[in-house]
C-alpha cells in the first residue's frame, strides 16, 4: 500500500515538474543597461500531461545591500504581462524546448547593482484542469 501511495505522489510530482517554465536567457549574472532593450527567453519543455498556457509576467526589481526582495511579495516594474505561446525554434536541435522570446525595455531609472528578473507563469494542467502558478528568477547586474 505504501508503495502505491508513493508511486502516485511521485507521478504527480513528475507531471507538475514537467509543466514548469524556465528562464533560458539572459543567464544569471548577465550585465544589462538601463534604458536599453533586452531579450528574455522563456522555455517550457514538453510533457505528456496536457496543458494550456495562460500567461506570463516578466518583471524586474533592484536589490539592496540586504538582498533582493521576495518575488512572491514584490515583483517590481512589470516589463511584460500577457499571453504565452511557446513554440519550437525554426532551426530546431534535439535539446530545444518550446520557447518564446520577449523583447522588453529595462527601466531607465533602474539603479546600478544587482537586480532580480522574475517570470511569473500560469498554466492549466491536466484534464481537470488545475492551475499551475510559479515564479522563476535570475539575478542580473545593472551598470
Above 80 in pLDDT, residue 83? yes
How much is the pLDDT for 13? 42
Which range, of 12-16, 30-34, 104-108, averages the lowest pLDDT?
A: 12-16
Above 90 in pLDDT, residue 6? no
Confidence of residue 35 (pLDDT cuts 50, 70, 90): very high
User: Which of 31, 26, 30, 20 has its CA nearest to residue 136?
Assistant: 20
How much is the pLDDT for 48? 82
How much is the pLDDT for 94? 81
C-alpha cell at 22: 524556465
DSSP letter string over the chain? Answer: -HHHHHHHHHHHHHHHHHT--EEEESPTT-EE-TTSEEEEEEE----SS-EEEEEEEEEEEE-BTTBPPPTTT---EEEEEE----B--SS--TT---EEEEEEEPPTTPPSEEEEEEEEEEEEETTTTEEEEEEEEEEEEE-
Domains of the chain from N-terminus onward: 2-142 (2.60.40.2550)
Phi, psi (rounded to 5 degrees) for 17: -60, -35
Mean pLDDT score, 115-138: 95
Above 50 in pLDDT, residue 52? yes
Q: Taking the model in full, what pTM does it have? A: 0.85
Mean pLDDT score, 58-75: 94
Higher pLDDT, 115 or 127: 115
Which range, of 34-38, 60-64, 93-97, 112-116, averages the lowest pLDDT?
A: 93-97
Mean pLDDT score, 25-45: 97
Amino acid at each position: 500500500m505504501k508503495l502505491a501511495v508513493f508511486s502516485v505522489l511521485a507521478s504527480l510530482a513528475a507531471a507538475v515538474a514537467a509543466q514548469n517554465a524556465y528562464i533560458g536567457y539572459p543567464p544569471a549574472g548577465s550585465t544589462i543597461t538601463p534604458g536599453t532593450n533586452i531579450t528574455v527567453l522563456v522555455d517550457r519543455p514538453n510533457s505528456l500531461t496536457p496543458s494550456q498556457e495562460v500567461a506570463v509576467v516578466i518583471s524586474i526589481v533592484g536589490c539592496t545591500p540586504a538582498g533582493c526582495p521576495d518575488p512572491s511579495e514584490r515583483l517590481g516594474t512589470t516589463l511584460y504581462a500577457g499571453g504565452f505561446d511557446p513554440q519550437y525554434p525554426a532551426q530546431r536541435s534535439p535539446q530545444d524546448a518550446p520557447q518564446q522570446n520577449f523583447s522588453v525595455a529595462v527601466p531607465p531609472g533602474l539603479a546600478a547593482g544587482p537586480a532580480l528578473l522574475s517570470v511569473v507563469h500560469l498554466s492549466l494542467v491536466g484534464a481537470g484542469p488545475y492551475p499551475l502558478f510559479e515564479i522563476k528568477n535570475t539575478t542580473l547586474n545593472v551598470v
